[in-house]
Amino acid sequence: MKNKYPRIVRLYAYAIEPGDSGSVEGGKVPADLALTDLLRSAAAIAELPQQTSVALAVDPSTRTSEVRNHIKTFAFSGGGQSGKAAALALAIRLQSAMDRRSAACLFVAVATQRDKQTRRVTFWTFPKEEALRFAMKAKPEMTILKDVFSTTSRLRKAALFEGTQAKTQFLFGRVLDLQARGGAGKEIADYWINKFLGATLMITSNEGTKLLAKNIRVVVPKSWTA
């Protein structure tokens, strides 16, 4: 479906407060045109299909992954309660993966229909921020907005999985986690990939080439390339 955002079949959102285990608030959200456009814009800016590759860890004895089971249920459950239960379970899992060093956020789970057999599931966290609303009426008016979540913050996170109902599908995905790339916040950021998704990083051939090129630029003296 080129130049067209795939049809949203399921959209849930939950407010996540770190440290308050099991107390997430939220549920199903109508996917109106404005919200669809916002999510499409967020995905385009994040370039999710080109982000870091991950593999979901599976239980050695059962060859299953709790997160993968929730993803598939969320994607293919139709109009039943199982999709709602999967979204809530994922929200609670995210909250339990966070600690009080993590920022409060809005967790958004989106399932879209690529074709008759294929679904795409995208998870987002948009950090909570304060914002100012300014209105010019009889005199200037400024209001502080507290329940605001940023879709462009560097603290936002995302994960993308796509596949069919086959047993080998939804084991691999892409993640956006700018904090986990290094720096002082890396330990805090690990909750998204390791604790929440239960995944490990992968390096594809393209990613390996980019990483090698980056390291060469760091190691080779500038005089060699002059």
Q: Is the pLDDT of residue 55 over 80?
A: yes
What 3-state class would DSSP assign to 158? strand
pLDDT tens-digit profile of 102-118? 888 999 999 999 888 99
- For helices 66-76 and 81-97, the axis angle rounded to 10 degrees is 140
Question: Percentage of the chain with pLDDT > 70?
Answer: 81
What 3-state class would DSSP assign to 118? coil
Q: What is the rounded distance in angstroms from the CA atom of residue 212 to the CA atom of residue 53? A: 16
List the structure tokens of 177. Answer: 């986690």
pLDDT bucket at 222, cuts 50 / 70 / 90: very low
pLDDT bucket at 215, cuts 50 / 70 / 90: very low
Inter-residue contact 201 to 193 (CB < 8 Å): yes
Q: Which amino acid is at 125?
A: T
Q: What is the pLDDT of residue 106?
A: 94
Q: What is the rounded distance in angstroms from the CA atom of residue 187 to the CA atom of residue 196? A: 14
Q: Which amino acid is at 58?
A: V
List the structure tokens of 12. Answer: 């849930």
CA distances from 127 to 78, 146, 153, 158 (A): 30, 12, 7, 12
Inter-residue contact 23 to 130 (CB < 8 Å): no
Q: Is the pLDDT of residue 149 over 90?
A: no
pLDDT tens-digit profile of 88-104? 999 999 999 988 778 88
Inter-residue contact 128 to 103 (CB < 8 Å): yes
pLDDT tens-digit profile of 69-92? 999 999 998 767 899 999 999 999
Which residues 6+ apart lie within 8 Å of 68 measured at CB?
56, 58, 170, 171
Q: Is the pLDDT of residue 13 over 70?
A: yes
For 34, list phi and psi in degrees, rounded to 5. Answer: -65, -45
According to DSSP, the residues that pair with 173 across neighbouring strands are: 54, 161
Q: What is the pLDDT of residue 224?
A: 43
Q: What is the pLDDT of residue 99?
A: 82
The b/e string for 119-141 (b: 16+ C-beta within 10 A; e otherwise) is bbbbbbbbbbbeeeeeeeeeeee
* Mean pLDDT taken over the chain: 83
What 3-state class would DSSP assign to 160? strand
Per-residue DSSP letter, 48: G
pLDDT bucket at 2, cuts 50 / 70 / 90: very low
